[in-house]
Amino acid sequence: MHRTRAVKAVAPRASGARARGTPAWIPLSIALVTLLAMGPSLQNGFTNWDDPEYVLENPLVRDLSPSGLRAIATSFLDGNYHPLTVLSLALDYRFSGLDPSGYHRTNVAIHVLAALAVFWLVLVLTGSWELSAFVALFHGVHPMHVESVAWVTARKDLLYGLFYFLACASYAIWLRGERRKFLAVAMTVLFFVGSLLSKGMAVTLPLALLAIDFHLGRKWSWKVQVVEKAPFFVLALAFGILAVVAQRAEGAVQEIARFPLHERLLFAAHGLVNYAVRAVVPVHLSAFHPYPVKEGGFLPVGYYLAPLALALLAALVVRSLRRGRTIAFGALFFAINLVLVLQLIPVGSAAVAERYTYVPYVGIGLALGGAALALRGRGEGRAPAARTAARILLAGFVIVLVVLARDRARVWHDSVALWTDVVERYPTLPTAHTHRAWGLQEQGNLEGALADLDRALALDPENEEALSTRGTVHLMRQDFGRARADLDRALRLRPESSAAWNNRGLVRLNQGDTSGAVEDFTRAIELSPRSHEGYLNRAVALGGMKRYPEALSDIDLAVGLMPDNARAHLLRGVTRYEMGDAAGALEAIDTAIRLHPQAAEAYAARAQALERLGRFTEALQDAERARAGGHPLQEEYLETLRRAAATR
């Protein structure tokens, strides 16, 4: 009771329309402008940056059966536990297959909903639709948020952000409400769990709730601030431990000893300042921002100046308390939601990442909007020119952000465009050249890929990724000697690389070393048991050794992982044919053709199965279609089928 009265007495209320009287055109305009800013991403494809692991080669998204849902709920993916994110991708796969447009439509839709959730949150906190609209637009159109929207893999940011904002808004309603209070409490907990199941970063929510208490002027007491929030802290602790376990299982958490404490503190200060500055001046954006290079044992001078800049910003925030708590609350919200990614515990290989701003920038938007609107004067009847100037300033800022966001969204069009942008920002970054080489390889530009890989290895001769990728490109060029040399070196540097073992197995298979290839494929499977490629490649090798039952067992495992993989079903059909099961072969090849109707090789294989079953007319039709599709079939074979069909 006391809690509710205190909140009502001190909660800030702007002079604009209250939540219940908000014009309908405002949220509609927010949605349309957000869609305008992020619209170019709807034309984008997948990229080679984690999209294969999350979608293209991920068996988890292909199975929505009860066992598949159980696997989603109990599996880590790429060092993360986010089953709700994986479930959303599985639903996209169910309706869109591997058409990237479906995934991008979902991303944009969730982002629009998140912008509207921000509008609701700020409206509940401040009562000002004017400030709420600015903060929602700032969130919806900021170029730093393009990474979270245009990158399919960043679905986790969108979902966690949406549920996080809804949880905060429900909590504020919980504090304000005289009616349906139990519903607001239940929704706060429910949205928090949804955010946690989308991304581990949501564990900061209890601290954000404390910041909301500060903003609304709640009096401190152990009963209110600690006991009330104990369930939230318990949930945060549990999911935090789970997140650390997932990261360590993936090897994403680096040894703290790599960076001494004073450097990690400098990273944190620099990160906070970097994110704050780019909120206002979003330039030099990149999908990848590497750790700084030391010269003479020292970091760049900006890192040593960052604590001073941070102290100045903090002083300005403290000074703002004279005019109210909005700016200070925004700064707190910003810092709270960045604390886990400031590299105090080094995670990954990037010093900062634009996607990390998806939730924190709501705080920056509040601070900027609050500061700009405060300049207009204190009474409704005062300083009309200042009010108009503030509105024009904020509107112009939003327009600039929209233009920059649209341009940034196009950078994510495909892998080559994305990594070309990174190369332009960081031309001496081996990772950028290696990833662009993967994209060029996928496009069939093997010479361009080799040029990038040579550059990456000139920058870092011990780069395992570049060596493994160059070995793969040499394999595709059928230069097996160079491929083997590169892959051997890659495996000496990183013997736990499943991809390198798999690709070396392919080299050995092409060199006639079938038993050696089986050994390499087996090692690849041991390191990555959920990857279907290893099983299929080992099946090919085993089939070459006429070990058909073992090959069929591997194929069945691959089909279980990737039931819509046409190559797996074709290989199953060929293997059954070799085992004398023409009917079983026909069934499997029919499935392969249904999945990939343009595969000429599949029609040739089905022709053989139909011939063995005595269905010569159908066999002839398939053989002619295979030949028309480019599969090499001898005229003598076709003539044999014609004669057989004519005698029937």
* Confidence (pLDDT) at 6: 35
Question: Do residues 349 and 290 lie in contact, with contact meaning Cβ atoms separated by under 8 Å?
Answer: yes
* Confidence (pLDDT) at 1: 35
Decide if pLDDT at 17 tops 80. Answer: no
Nearest C-alpha neighbor of 208 from the set 366, 9, 368, 354: 366
Question: Do residues 86 and 60 lie in contact, with contact meaning Cβ atoms separated by under 8 Å?
Answer: yes
Question: Could you tell me the two tokens for 93?
Answer: 């796969």
Question: Could you tell me the two tokens for 243?
Answer: 């997140």
> pLDDT by residue (tens digit) across 283-323?
999 999 998 888 888 889 999 999 999 999 999 999 988 88
**pLDDT: is 381 or 604 the higher one?**
604
Decide if pLDDT at 110 tops 90. Answer: yes
> pLDDT by residue (tens digit) across 332-358?
999 999 998 887 776 666 789 999 999
Beta bridge partners of 290: 350
Question: Do residues 521 and 534 lie in contact, with contact meaning Cβ atoms separated by under 8 Å?
Answer: yes
Nearest C-alpha neighbor of 189 from the set 165, 170, 173: 170
Nearest C-alpha neighbor of 336 from the set 312, 365, 360, 370: 360
The distance in angstroms from the start CA to the end CA of the chain is 92
Scored b (16 or more CB within 10 A) or e, 182-220 reads eebbebbeebbbbbbbbbbbbbbbbbbbbbbbebbebee
Q: Tell me what the pLDDT averaged over the chain comes to.
A: 90
- CA 321-326-329 angle, to 5 degrees, is 90
- Indicate the pLDDT class of residue 373, thresholds 50, 70 and 90: confident
- Indicate the pLDDT class of residue 368, thresholds 50, 70 and 90: very high
**pLDDT: is 324 or 446 the higher one?**
446
Nearest C-alpha neighbor of 505 from the set 519, 492, 488, 493: 519
* Confidence (pLDDT) at 607: 94
Question: Could you tell me the two tokens for 330?
Answer: 């925004």
* Confidence (pLDDT) at 342: 86
* Confidence (pLDDT) at 181: 78
> pLDDT by residue (tens digit) across 145-200?
999 999 999 999 999 999 999 999 999 998 877 567 788 889 999 999 999 999 99
For 352, the enclosing helix (H) or strand (E) is strand 350-352
Highest mean pLDDT (candidates 227-236, 318-327, 548-557): 548-557
Beta bridge partners of 350: 290
- Indicate the pLDDT class of residue 226, thresholds 50, 70 and 90: confident
Report DSSP letters for 565-597, one per residue. Answer: -HHHHHHHHHHHHHTT-HHHHHHHHHHHHHH-T
- Indicate the pLDDT class of residue 104, thresholds 50, 70 and 90: very high
Highest mean pLDDT (candidates 231-245, 333-347, 549-563): 549-563
* Confidence (pLDDT) at 323: 83
- Residues 565-570 have a mean pLDDT of 94
Question: Do residues 446 and 473 lie in contact, with contact meaning Cβ atoms separated by under 8 Å?
Answer: yes
**pLDDT: is 111 or 348 the higher one?**
111
C-alpha to C-alpha distance for 475 and 477, rounded to whole angstroms: 5
